[in-house]
Structure 1
């Protein structure tokens, strides 16, 4: 018998938190499931993270046309592919939840990882109502307590169908090492270069620190539509000589070992993989206080969380640049919390258990 077929729908399959989590889970489960992947914007960079024994195929989909036309094509594709389970990711794939919402649809897991720049300061009423209506029959998975609260109290989804599954990672890959060299301290970040990540805020904060005469280098790992503008901004701020845009890295573990301080400058996050990876790498974190970041970090880190403001982020970074012993102390505390809370095995087990339960229920109905 063929392994069950899981159809995954992503707004795009570039490297991001949801995509990386899927690749990790698919690699762990190997041939246990087959995977079909729809990337609505056509990007597929995260496919290079899939192991050789993962059975997967790309399913093309034309995302243009009116909403009724797109829903009709979606239903037709579901009938053609005939997946055993549909897995959708974030608001960008919500139309697939709409198409599948009628009785008799495919068993469905919807995963929400956070919000884009258009909802960084509050959710749109239309999207709240849409989620409330079309996700009632789905199983909804959230990685953060902040999102879990939204799903139950704002979207009003059934409590029995909402699941908190925190992200996890391979702690061994991100083991500490390499920090504290003899050169200038390195501030680093790992992020898709999109508006909501607000790397411009990090650049402006670093310009303030450079203006005070502080020595450091800046490492920005990631790719995206904002790269050209950010490179230009670094030049305008006088940071070009100390800033390296490393671009996309399939495995960023080595990049964290080049850093002395990790910085997160986002306007909106939930449980960001980059903060988890920095913690596992034994790095201190200076971050905007968004999503579950405060819950993720140990109490010692609280004074290095800042409002979404350039000056405030510079204030969080300043003492970390000036005190190597403090960096080591906070990095060790972050690593201990990562070992306690962020092991990937619990994440794998929870996701696999939910998927297998739905597959078994479908098989029982079909018998």
Structure 2
């Protein structure tokens, strides 16, 4: 380090897992863009650090394996608190409910803390669990923790249900790369139409809904389905495709280091989730210039309301199958939907906007001025 150079800020990131998912993919983007000015200590409650392979060599990061006690929401508080007292990072960042024990470990406060909420698992898809509401209210509210949320829906939840003060809650939307040009459209007449999705194969993503809708489509026309991602439901979903007689036309790619690279193989992107907030894969597809069909969950309705509102539906099997089929019959509209979607992402969800705001977070400046708590200008 040259004389007078600032030592890197030490950030301790607490995840439930460091397998590749939405929060982990965003962290990788940020760490790669912001470079060696930060030293990242990564803890994962399951001691899995697979997402680290996507970090650039210049990124200073260290996976920290812990002896995690399972079974109690506060079982690890003492050990985690001792670690915070020993390491004294410049900032603790905890991600979602799966890392809430770190908020408990930092009460009373040992180090500055930002808690990040990206969404919920299937157990909270339809309603908030009272015990978790109370714990968030106590652990985040009573300790004055700054909270970053990835959607307007979560912002409303944090202030209205968890009763956190609005001045401590900041909305920072996910952002994605905008390719310099939209991909050219290729006619699908005379070849199978390619429907695709990018998702963890978990219950809340409801890929089964997509496979059932695809089976309806496949009964009437040549089509293929590409499912990019892996997860605990993979074998079950492959069995469902076999049972419905479409296994030969459904590709399960498994885990990919760069899942977005397969987007170019899709004609249409489909999101079938029961719960989402601000899905990165959906934004990436729109940035590329691709029509999308999606369930109305989280902020997805706001995103598509002035892009292709008829391609939204409630998260139910019947409406989703009907919406997908209707979109496939309206291919003359695809270029218009694609242009509107790409423009939406350019204005509101570009990666450069996200990085500017997250640099404030990493630098500990999130709530040092009133301006820092204002939402991003479009």
* TM-score above 0.5, yes or no: yes
User: How far apart are residue 169 of structure 1 and its match?
Assistant: 1.0
Alignment pair present for 1:164 and 2:148: no
Q: How does 1:59-98 map onto structure 2 within 5 Å?
A: 59-65=64-70, 66-67=72-73, 69-98=75-104
CA distance in 1, matches of 2:186, 2:288: 9
Partner SS, residue 217 of structure 1: strand
Cα distance in 2 for partners of 1:300, 1:253 equals 21
Gaps of 5+ in 2: 1-5, 369-378
Q: Map 1:275-286 onto structure 2 (within 5 A).
A: 275-286=282-293
Is 1:204 matched up with 2:212? yes
2:296 is aligned with 1:297: no
Match of 2:234 in 1: 227
**318-327 or 261-270: which moved more?**
318-327
The alignment's TM-score, normalised by the length of structure 2, stands at: 0.91
Deviations 1:330-364 (A, max 9, x none): 11221111111111111111111133235998xxx
Aligned-pair CA distance for 1:155: 0.7
Q: Match of 2:129?
A: 124
Q: Secondary structure at the match of 1:9?
A: strand
Q: Please say if 1:111 is aligned against 2:116.
A: yes
Mapped to 1, the partners of 2:49 and 2:129 lie a distance apart of 29
Structure 1 runs (4+) deviating above 6 angstroms are none
The secondary structure found in structure 1 opposite 2:68 is: coil
CA-based RMSD? 1.9
* Map of 1:263 onto structure 2: 270
Contact 2:307 2:337 in 1 (8 A): yes
Q: Tell me the alpha carbon deviations over residues 13-37 of structure 1, each in whole angstroms, 9 at most, x when there is no partner.
A: 1111111111111111101110000
2:26 is aligned to 21
Contact 1:180 1:324 in 2 (8 A): no
1 or 2, which has the higher helix percentage? 1
* CA-CA distance at 1:145 after TM superposition: 0.6
Structure 1 residues 206 and 174: alpha-carbon distance in aligned structure 2, compared to 1, 3 A threshold: farther
**Bigger CA drift: 17-26 or 178-187?**
178-187
Distance 1:53 1:360, change over 3 A: farther
After superposition, the C-alpha distances for 1:122-150 in whole angstroms (9 at most, x for unaligned) are 11011111111111221100111110011
CA deviation after TM superposition for structure 1 residue 285, in Å: 1.1
Tell whether 2:56 aligns with 1:51: yes
Matched, 1:350 2:350: no
Q: Which residue does 2:198 correspond to in 1?
A: 190
Contact map agreement 1:85 1:107 (CA 8 A) in 2? yes
Aligned residues: 359
**Counterpart in the other structure of 2:318:** 311
Deviation of 1:306 (Å):
1.1
> Residue 197 of structure 2: SS of its match in structure 1?
strand
Judge conservation of contact 1:279–1:338 (CA < 8 Å) in 2: yes
Distance 2:59 2:278 in 1: 26
Instruction: Structure 1: state its 5+ residue gaps.
Output: 362-367
CA distance in 2, matches of 1:330, 1:174: 16
Query: Counterpart in 2 of 1:365?
Result: none
Residue in 2 that maps onto 1:364:
none
Superposed CA deviations along residues 310-333 of structure 1, whole A, max 9, x for unmatched, are 121111111222333222221122
In structure 2, the CA distance between the partners of 1:93 and 1:180, relative to structure 1 (3 Å rule), is farther
> CA contact under 8 A between 1:260 and 1:327: conserved in structure 2?
no
Tell me, yes or no, if structure 1 residue 31 matches structure 2 residue 36. Answer: yes
In structure 2, the partner of 1:42 is: 47
Secondary structure (helix, strand or coil) at the match of 2:93 reads strand
TM-aligned CA distance change 1:48 to 1:175, over 3 Å: farther
Aligned in 2, Cα 1:299/1:359: closer, same or farther, shift over 3 Å? closer
Q: TM-score, normalised by structure 1?
A: 0.93
Deviation at 1:177, TM superposition (A): 4.3
1:238-257 equivalence runs, <5 A: 238-257=245-264
Structure 1 residues 360 and 267: CA distance shift in structure 2, 3 A = closer
